[in-house]
Structure 1
Amino acid sequence: MTNPFDDPDAPYLVLVNDEGQYSLWPASVEVPDGWAVAHAEDTRDTCLEYIDRQWTDMRPRSLVRSMRS
């Protein structure tokens, strides 16, 4: 069995957590607690492009908020 995280031809999702961190996620694997779908099922390349456009600040939201205080 192939690792679903390594299959370039499989459908993927983009997930995001409360800290604003993104993850490429195989559509065949259940979304873990604490994560939400940010981009619906699509190709691996399209999902990676979405992440590149959206995740421009790698700092967790809690760190950004603490730095503003």
Structure 2
Amino acid sequence: MSDSEEYRVVLNDEEQYSVWRTDRPLPAGWHAEGTTGSRQECLDHIGRVWTDMRPLSLRRHLASTGG
């Protein structure tokens, strides 16, 4: 793995984040979030924006039940 490889931040329908190399097609169920850079830059971005790691469906369920 080279330091010059570029990555993108990807997001799935449950609002879970990951990094994916820009030279590879995105896996099914994931879409580009808009951030690209080195792997570490992408991980740093995820660390800033992904503050609640619970899946979206669980957050919605808890919100609807008052939990």
TM-score of the pair, normalised by structure 2:
0.83
Which runs of no fewer than 5 residues in structure 1 stay unpaired?
Answer: 1-6
* Regions of 4+ moved over 4 Å: none
State the alpha-carbon separation in 2 of the partners of residues 54 and 33 from structure 1. 22
C-alpha RMSD over aligned residues: 1.3
| Structure 2 residues not aligned, in runs of 5+ | none
Tell me the CA shift for residue 11 of structure 1.
Answer: 0.7
Identity %: 44
Query: Which of 20, 27, 48 does residue 32 from structure 1 map onto?
Result: 27
How many residue pairs match? The answer is 63
1:1-69 correspondence to structure 2 within 5 Å:
7=1, 9=3, 10-69=5-64
Q: TM-score, normalised by structure 1?
A: 0.81
